[in-house]
Amino acid sequence: MSSPHSDRRAVQGQGARLRELLRNPAVFPLLGVHDGLSARIGADCGFPALWASGLGMSTALGVRDCEEASWTELIQVVEHITAVTDVPVLVDGDTGHGNFNTARRFACRAERARAAGICLEDKASPKMNSFVGDAHALAPVAEMCGKIAACRDAVTDPDFVITARVEALIAGAGMEVALERATAYQAAGADAIFIHSRQPTVAEIAEFCAHWNDRLPLILAPTTYHTTPMSRFQSLGISGVIWANQALRAATAAMRRACLVLRENGPTELDDSISTLKEIFTLLEYEELERDEQHYAELLTKLNGYAELGA
Ligand code: SPV
Ligand code: MG
């Protein structure tokens, strides 16, 4: 998408585009993004799909990933993300921010914001980021199934992707519970399963995949087992691999490094390690704005001509 104003155009089929990627037997990466700028960079770098990360968006708002940001604040960030790209965006919906009713309102607002789908996780609300501490209480299965079904009923696009995230392995509830929950979420109408693990290797995920047997497309976020090659995920039958927080961490580290140099020595030393303004203007398509200015100025001249004719 070329203009921040393009969201005024009706663009259909984001869900269908994500569904297509999920149907395709080839594994695909989703880049975790946290704002309009990171979404533009991700799309520019060729990612076929984006993950509007709850951790990323919260962090960029300066708050913690434990539903500290309100869901309407998060939806506003999602709107910024989807407005600047046509790449399908899967939105991290956390727990649905309450019950079936808040979950379906969140889903509808995400759909209106041109998201391709949402992902709901089966933790008790408010949840804590899966990498923080060991206290990760699971929501009752029936409650999670109700949220999935309510979202399915509430959204208007049948292709809008509702992903159910299984946190049983994070909560230490074991493989059997993880499989039971994923099976229940499929029955409730989920289109894909996000199976989450924080083990240092892919072994736990491999065991899940062996039992899951391709019943619904699988998505994961290999933050702790990131050294696993994509070919291994492919052979396990994984559909989507979310690089959930690397862009956020890259931005944080680079900003901190630059700020320390600036504070100590001023900007001269930074010149080679920061983006040029030209790079930023190119990314944000300032040239398009210039062309449009000319276009509308010419239109105005023509219209003035008509006005003079009529006078
Ligand atoms: C996020 O990016 O917000 C996620 C993925 O939910 S994780 O942080 O790995 O739980
Ligand atoms: Mg999250």
Task: List, for residues 243-294, the tens digit of each pLDDT value.
Answer: 999 999 999 999 999 999 999 999 999 988 999 999 999 999 999 999 999 9
222, 241 Cβ separation under 8 angstroms = yes
Q: Measuring from atom 2 of ligand 1, which residue has the nearest CA?
A: 53
Residue from 31, 38, 53 whose mutation best tests the ligand 1 pocket (most atoms within 8 A of CB)? 53
| pTM (two decimals) | 0.93
Atom of ligand 1 nearest to the CA of 245: 2
Question: Quick one: which ligand is closest to 57's CA?
Answer: 1
In our burial notation (b when 16+ CB lie closer than 10 A, e otherwise), range 35-46 reads bbbbbbbbbeee
Q: What is the pLDDT of residue 33?
A: 98
Give pLDDT tens digits for 209-220.
999 998 999 999
- Is 53 a pocket residue for ligand 1 (Cβ < 6 Å)? yes
- Separation of CA 42 and ligand 1 centre (Å): 17
C-alpha span between 115 and 15 (Å, rounded): 7
Query: Closest Cα partner for 166 from 184, 189, 146?
Result: 184
Q: Is the pLDDT of residue 8 over 90?
A: no
| Lookup: tokens for 78 | 């999602």
Query: Taking Cα atoms as reference points, which of 150, 80, 149, 148 lies closest to residue 115?
Result: 80
Which position among 35, 65, 94, 191 bears the catalytic label? 65
Q: How far is the CA of 233 from the centre of ligand 2 (A)?
A: 21
Please report the atom of ligand 1 found closest to the CA of residue 119. 6
27: which residues sit within 8 A by CB, 6+ positions away?
230, 233, 234, 238, 239, 240, 241
Instruction: With a cut of 80, say whether residue 2 has pLDDT above it.
Output: no
Who wins on pLDDT, 125 or 7? Answer: 125
Ligand whose nearest atom lies closest to the CA of 223: 1
Q: Determine if ligand 1 sits within 6 Å of the CB of residue 130.
A: yes
Q: What is the mean pLDDT of the chain?
A: 94
Contact 220, 241 (CB under 8 A): yes
**Residue 120 φ then ψ, to 5°:** -105, 135
Distance of alpha carbon 181 from alpha carbon 271, whole angstroms: 52
Is residue 162's pLDDT more than 80?
yes
Q: What is the mean pLDDT of residues 3-24?
A: 73
Question: 35 an active-site residue?
Answer: no
Per DSSP, the three-state class of 21 is helix
Q: Which of 65, 90, 163 to mutate to test the pocket of ligand 1 (most atoms within 8 A of CB)?
A: 65
pLDDT at res. 301: 84
Q: How confident is the model at residue 1 (pLDDT cuts 50, 70, 90)?
A: very low
Closest ligand to C-alpha of residue 94 is 2
How do residues 55-104 score in pLDDT, each as one tens digit? 999 999 999 999 999 999 999 999 999 999 999 999 999 999 999 999 99
Q: Which residues surround ligand 2, an ion (CB under 5 A)?
A: 54, 92
